[in-house]
Structure formats: structure tokens, C-alpha cells
Amino acid sequence: MEDRQTRVLIVGAGLAGSLAVQSINNMKEGPLVIGFIDDDENKLNLKICGLPVLGNRLDIPRITEKHKVNEIIIALPSAPPVEVSGIIQICERLSDVKIKILPGTYDLKTGLINPTPIREVQLEDLLGRKPLSLDLNSINNYLTDQVVLVTGAGGSVGTELSTNIANSSPGQLVLMGRGENSIYEVERKLKLSHPYIDIATEIADIRDRGRMTRLFQKYRPGVVFHAAAHKHVPYMERIPEEAVKNNILGTWVMCEVAHDFKCDKFVLISTDKAVKPTSVMGATKRIAETIAVMMNNQSHTKFSAVRFGNILGSRGSVIPLFEKQIAGGGPVTITHPQMTRYFMTVSEAAWLVIQAGAIAVGGEVFVLDMGEPVCIKDLAYKLIKLNGQQPEKDIAIRYTGIRPGEKITEVLVGDDEEVKATRHKKISAVYSSMKDFARLKELLATLEDPCFSYAEEDIRCLLQPYLG
């Protein structure tokens, strides 16, 4: 419960701001609201809910100091994300001021933004991008009443993807993964939220061709979303055999079985690390993309891939690590002060995959317009400030150096790739001019040869043409 001495300034003197005041006034011993901030000059000095409009966003520092404000609530659910992000940046420069937000949920059916309860500011609020608008008709046309298979369904993207597919009323949703606990969790969640959907679960290894053949024989999926992969760069540098077997051979098996059973669409989840790869993981995902493109050239199944950057808050990613380090009092460890990455929310990633599947004609690698890359150091600083502390004062920063296989910066499109617009203005299709399918077939034959040693030096030699 808030202390009565908490003094609140509300940014946004519209309906949402009024709702925020009413919500606070209904609290027993709630905080004291001292007034509003609004950029509309016509509202200046007016009273809303009996409280004055004290100035515009540029006045926030002055008003905060004058009125001893220690909490700011941003109540602009319909404002463009870039505008909200700008206001947060003004607020986070203030010392000892907590920032909260009354966000909005985008209603896909009505196109309206509905205010949701006040919460702490989250990192996705800082991305400054509009929600990905969707062509619901095209999505429903290829998912409704279909048997849809999701591999890696227990992962961060796989779980969100499965949830969104369930919203499109598939005929059956098949959740597949190697980890029984994660599959159990997503199954339990979906059966509670979508009790009317026919949900099947399978614990299986995508590298097992016989098992995959039997599964496809059992379910006959029309659409496959292939999210199963090893993604951790440092681990795959140390254990390249697993990266090759899972990301390359597993994808090869899935593509061939999907072709054999005449699936309509197959969508591979890829990564920006597949562009000019410097790591084993990146090289294996580049090869996986090439497998999908090659298969599209010889199959009635429409094969495509979707390439995106880092997922905010996904398991094993930098955000949960920073949060644990901050909770423990620091230090926060950063590999390099200039390292940047593209970030997106898990919901953006899932919707990109589904929308790309709707517009795919086969052979494309899709990328989302993700704005500017984010500096990891800045991300750490923002996260520390959102936790009410000061970087390098309350929480120390320690630089650990770039790990094997990592790059300072990532790109979404390679020099050898041609970018074309799609009918969705935020999604582009990328086509590579370098399609050495003969070399790819030799690589696959080598990996499937029982005599191949899988020694680390042999694997790296095999991957060398795909690196850099």
C-alpha cells in the first residue's frame, strides 16, 4: 500500500488520466495527486478532477522539484510508443522518482486501445515502436481449422506462438518439444485459456527421422512452425556438435518430412546471427535458412524463414540476467560498452512469424522493421534506473569482454541479399544471391555419413565457408 506522503504527478490530462486519479482516490490512504502534465496548450491551468494542469512534458523536471514529486504516472495509452518512450526518458533523468505507466492493450478486433491497470514501466515501453498491425483475414484463412504443428513449443517464442495460433481456432494444435516440463506448462496454460481447442502434445527429438515420420503420419499437419533450436552462442561454441545436429540436421529432417507429407506451409524461426555469422550457432542457422530456401525450390510445400533479433526477457537472455544481478546488489556484467543488439518483445516475434506465414509465397526470409539497435550498456543503465537505483553508484558495472563467437553489432540483412517490400509495410522479404545448393547437399551428406567424426576441428572446417 502506498504511503500518504507519496506525491504523484500524472502525465496526460485526458480520460486515462482521469481514470488514474479516480483509481488513486479509491485507495485507502492512497498517495496525493498534485496535478497533471499535458502538451495541449488549451488545457494549461485548467482543472481536471479538481486538479490543475501544471505544464507540458518539458516542465516535468521543474514541476517535480517544485512540488516534491516522488512518483510520476504516464497515462497516455493511445499515444504512439515513440512519444511514451520520450517521456520516460525525460522522467528517468530525475533522482528518487518512481515512474509508473497506465498502458493500453491493443484490441485486434476493434482496433482500439483499452487502458489497463497502472504498472511499473517495463523495458518494452522504451522500444518506441508501434504495435505490429495484423492482417487478421489472411492469418485466419491459413490457420483456422488447420492442423498446426509447433516445434520447440515450450520455449519463449514457441509458447507465445502457440497461444496466438490458438486464438485463430485451428482444427488441432500439436505442441512438440524435447523438454517435458516446458511442454507440460504450455499445454496446461492453453487448456485453461482455450478449452475449446483440440490440443495434442508430443515429447520428441526433431533429429529422429523415424519419430518425425510417425508423428506426421499421425497428425498430418498442414502448417508447421519450426521454432526448435539451440540458440546460446557461447554454449554452441563449446559444443558445436550439438549445434550442428540440432540446428542443421534437425531442420533438414523436419523439412524433408514436411515435404513428404505435402504440408502447405513451413515457417522456420531464424535469427539475425545468421547474417555474416561469426559463431557456430549463427552459421548453423544460416545453413538452416538455406535448407528452407532449397527445399522450396523442389517442393509443393511453401518453405520460408523469419529472422529477428533478441527477445526481451526470453529465458537465458540478457534482461533476466541483469535483473538477477541488480536484485543481488550487482555488479551488472556487460561484455563490451559499445555492444548493440536489435530487440523485440516476444509478442512481436510471435506475430511476425504468424503474419509472415500468411504472406509467404515460398523461398523468402522475412525481417521486421525493428527500429534502431539498442546499446546493451544503455539497456543496463535503464534497467537499473527502473529499479529505482543509480548505475555505477548504487549498482556497479563490470565489463567482462566479448565472448567467443559474439559480435559488437548485429545486422538483419547481409551484403549479398536483396530486400523487397511485402504487402505488410513493417515486414520485408530478403533474398540471397548466393545459393550454393550443391555445396549444401555435400555438407548434409557429410553430416549424415556414419563415418563423419564430429570432432570439433572437423565441424569447424565444414562450417568455415558459411562464416564471416
Q: Show which residues are catalytic.
A: 273
The edge-to-edge listing of strands for the beta sheet with 7-11 is 47-48, 51-55, 32-37, 7-11, 71-74, 98-101, 119-120
Which residues on adjacent β-strands are paired with residue 203?
Answer: 177
Distances, alpha carbon 321 to alpha carbons 34, 331, 462, in Å: 37, 11, 33
Q: How far apart are the first and last CA of the chain?
A: 55
Q: Cα–Cα–Cα angle for 457, 463, 468, nearest 5°? A: 115
Q: How far apart are CA 356 and CA 304, in angstroms?
A: 8
Residues forming a β-bridge with 8? 33, 71
Residue for grid cell 523468402: 364
**Burial zone of 307 (CB within 10 Å; 0-12 exposed, 13-18 middle, 19+ buried):** buried
Which residues, other chains included, contact 179 with Cβ-Cβ below 8 Å and sequence gap of 6+?
154, 203
Contacts 24+ apart (CB under 8 A), 241-245: 241/454, 241/456, 241/459, 243/280, 243/281, 243/284, 244/280, 244/284, 244/447, 244/454, 244/459, 244/462, 244/463, 245/207, 245/447
Strands 397-399 and 332-334: parallel
- Among candidates 326, 366, 384, 353, which has minimal Cα distance to 156? 353
Choose among 22, 36, 39, 106: nearest CA to 73: 36
Residues 6+ apart with CB under 8 A from 116: 77, 102, 103, 104, 105
